[in-house]
Amino acid sequence: MEWFDNGWGLSLVVFTPLVGALALLAVPKKDEETAKLLALLASLVSLSLAVVAAFRFDFGDAGALQFGTKLSWIPAIGSDYEIGIDGISLPLLVLSAAIVVLSIVYSWDHWPEPHNPKGFLILILFLATGMAGTFVAQDLVLFFIFFELVLLPMYFMIGIWGDKTKIKLPGFSREVETRLYASIKFFLFTLFGSAFMLLGFLALSFRGGSFSIPELAQMGADGQFTGTFAFLVFGALFLGFAVKVPMWPLHTWLPDAHTAAPTVGSVLLAAILLKLGSYGFIRIAIPILPEEAKSWAPAIAILAVIAIIYGSLACLAQTDMKRLIAFSSVGHMGFVMLGIATLTPVGITAAVIGMVAHGVITGMLFFLAGSMQHRYHTREMARLGGNLKLMPILGGFLGFTAMASLGLPGLAGFWGEFMALLGSYQPLEGLSLGVFRTAMVVGAIGTVLTAGYLLWMLQKVNLGEPKEEWAGHEFHDVDRYEFAAWVPMLVSIVAIGVYPKIVTGAANDAVQVLMDKAFF
C-alpha cells in the first residue's frame, strides 16, 4: 500500500469523481441506468478510498500531514501540487465523500425537473472533486482552485433544476424566477469573497515566498507576519471565508440558494459547501496569522452570536419549511464560528465536530424537506400538519433529526454547541473574558431559541391532524432509495452523539498541535 500513502490515495479520492464525470459525458443521454451506475461507482470508489485512508490513518500522529505528496505544478509562480490530510481534514473528507454517495443514491428516482439525470450527475461529481480537493489541498493556489471549482456546478444545479416559483424583487418591475435570482446571487457573493481571498493569498506568498500552507503556517508561528500587512491580509481572507460560512451579515445569499436549490443541491450546500469556509479559517487564516486572529477573534465571536440569535429569530418568522431549515444553518454555523473564535483547542475541536454534525443533521433535514415537498407539492407549513399520521416513518425521521438539530444530548448536534459554549467560558489567554462570557450567555439563550423554532416546526408539520385538503390522498411513506440514503445518516447521528471520538479522536490531537504551534 505504499502507493496509497505517497499521494496516490488522496489524489484518487479527489479525482475519481472527475474521471467519472468525464466518462459520463460519453454515455448517451437516454441511457439513464448506465449513467446512474457509473456515477455511483465513481463516488463509491472515492468513498472507499477515503475510508481506507481513515483506517490507515496514524491516530497517534494526527497533527502531522499524512498520505501527502508535493509535486511541481506551476513553477512560474512557485505553486506546487501539495496535498495531505491531518486529523482535522480527515473527518471532513470522509463526510464529503459519503454525502456524495448518499446524494446519488437518493437521486436514483427523485429527479428534479427538468429531468436529465446525466447532466445532474455530472454536476454532483464535479462538486465531489471540488469539495474533496479543498480538504486535501496544502497549497494556497491549489486550495483556491478547488474552492472555486464548486461554484460552477452549484450555479448550474440551482439555476437549471431549482425552484421555478416567481418572486418580485424590491426595486424591479418584472418578476423573476427564484432559481435564476438565487443562482446568480450565490455565484456573485462567493466570487466577491474569493476575489479578495485570492489577493490575501498573493500577499502572503510575497511576504513568505511560498504558497505552501505548512510552510506559511510555520512562518506565521515564528511571527513573520505582523502589523498592517497582517491586518489587511486577515481581512481579505476573512471576506472570502465569511461569505462561504456564511457569517452574518454576509449570509443573505444562503436562504435564497438553499430554498431555490433542488433537494440534493441543498443537501450538498448545507452539508459540505458551508464547511469550506469554516475549514479555511482553521486551516489557513488562524495558523498563518495567529496574532491577527487574536485581534479579530472578539469581532468574530460577536458576529457569531449575532448569527445565532438572528438565525433563530429569522426561523421563527418563516412560513416555508425549507427556508426555515436554511436559516437554521446560519445559527448552527454561528456556533461553529463561536468555537473557532475562542482560539482554544476545545473551541476548535467543537467547531470540527460541529461541522460534521451539522453536515449530517442539516443534510438529513434537507433530504426530508425535499421528500415532503415531493409528496405534498408544497413547503408551506400552514398547509402541512399531521405528517406523522400520514407518513409515520418519514414523520418519525423528521422528529428524530429535528431533535438532533436542537442539540439533544446523546445525538450528534449536542457536542458542537456544548463544547463551543464551554470554550467561550475560557477563551485563549489575552482575549477579552467579558466579550466571550457574554457571548457564551447569549449563545446559551440561542440554544433555547433553537429548540424553540425546531419544536415549533415539528408542531406545525408533524403533529396535529392532517389538513382537509389532503383527505383522500394516498401518501407513499419512505421508499427504498430514501431508506438507503437516510439510514446511514441517522445511524451516524446516533453514533457521533454517543461516541464523539469518531470525530474528535482524530481532530483533538490535530487541533492541539495546530494551536500549540500557533500560540505557544
Partner 1 sequence: MFDYHALAPDFIVAGTVLAVLGADLFLPRERKWLAAVVGILGLTVALIPIVTLAASDDSVRSMMDGSYVIDDFALVLKAFFILTGYIVLLMSVAYVEADRYYQGEYYFLVLASLLGGMVMASSRDLISLFVGLELVSGPAFLLAGWKKADARSNEAALKFFIIGVLSAAILLYGMSLVYGMTGSLSFDGIREASASVAEEPVFVLGILLVLVGFGFKVSAVPFHFWAPDTYEGAPTPVTAYLSVGSKAAGFVGILLVSYVAFAGAPEIWGPALWILAALSMIVGNLIALRQENIVRLLAYSSIAHAGFMLVPFAAAALVEGDSLNQAFEATVTYVLIYGIMNLGAFAVVIAAARRTGSGQIRDWSGLGSYAPGISILLTLFFFSLAGIPPLAGWYAKFVMFLAVLQNANGWTIALAAIAALNAVIALYYYARVVQSVWMDPAPDEVAPDPEPSGVAPSLGLAFGMLAVAVIVVGVFPEAVGQFAKAASAIAGG
Contact positions vs partner 1 (CB under 8 A)? 73-77, 141, 144-145, 148-149, 151-152, 155-156, 159-160, 179-180, 183-184, 187-188, 191-192, 195-196, 198-199, 202-203, 206, 232
CB of 199 to partner 1, least distance (A): 6
Nearest approach, Cβ of 9 to partner 1 (angstroms)? 21
Q: And the C-alpha cell for 430?
A: 489575552
CA-to-CA distance for 78 and 65, rounded, in angstroms?
21
Place of cell 446511514: 488
All cell numbers assigned to 445: 439563550
For the chain, the farthest-separated pair of C-alpha atoms sits apart, in whole angstroms, at 71
Q: 423: phi > 0 → left, psi -120 to 50 → alpha, else beta; which?
A: alpha
Within 13 Å of residue 347, how many CA atoms lie on the same side as its CB? 25
Asked if 305 and 338 count as a contact pair (C-beta separation under 8 A), the reply is yes
Hey, what's the cell of 46?
A: 472515492
Shorter beta-carbon distance to partner 1: residue 143 or 310: 143
Q: Which residue has the cell 465531489?
A: 128
Answer whether 5's CB lies under 8 Å from 66's CB.
yes
- Buried-state track 388-419, b at ≥16 Cβ within 10 A, e below 16: bebbeebbebbbbbbbbbbbbeebbbbbbbbb
Beta carbon nearer to partner 1, 72 or 409: 72
Whole-angstrom CA distances from 28 to 36, 68, 117, 298 are: 12, 37, 11, 55
- The distance of closest approach from Cβ of residue 137 to partner 1 in the complex, given in angstroms and rounded to an integer, is 12
CA 103, 283, 354, 307 torsion-angle sign: negative
User: What would the 3-class secondary structure string for 161-205 be?
Assistant: HCCCCEEECCCCCCEEEHHHHHHHHHHHHHHHHHHHHHHHHHHHH
**Residue 152 or residue 309: which is nearer to partner 1 going by CB?**
152
Give me the least distance between CB of 79 and partner 1, in Å please: 9
Min dist. Cβ of residue 118 to partner 1 (A): 11
Task: Please state the closest distance from residue 46 (CB atom) to partner 1, in A.
Answer: 18
* Closer by beta carbon to partner 1, 116 or else 378: 116
Smallest separation, CB 83 to partner 1 (Å): 15
Task: Give min distance, CB of 39 to partner 1, in A.
Answer: 18
Q: Which is nearer to partner 1, 180 or 325 (CB)?
A: 180
State which residue, 246 or 339, has the beta carbon closest to partner 1: 246
Number of neighbouring beta carbons within 10 Å of residue 507: 31
The answer to whether 477 and 414 are in contact (CB under 8 A) is: no
Nearer to partner 1, 228 or 472 (CB): 228
Q: CB of 68: closest distance to partner 1 in angstroms?
A: 20
Cell 470522509 identifies what position? 94
Residue closer to partner 1 by CB (options 108, 192) is 192
Nearer to partner 1, 73 or 108 (CB): 73
Alpha-carbon gap, residue 8 to 377, rounded angstroms: 45
**Cβ-contact 219, 518 below 8 angstroms:** no
The least distance separating partner 1 from the CB of residue 223, rounded to whole angstroms, comes to 21
Taking the least distance from each CB to partner 1, the nearer of 5 and 148 is 148
What's the CA gap between 212 and 67, in Å, rounded? Answer: 16
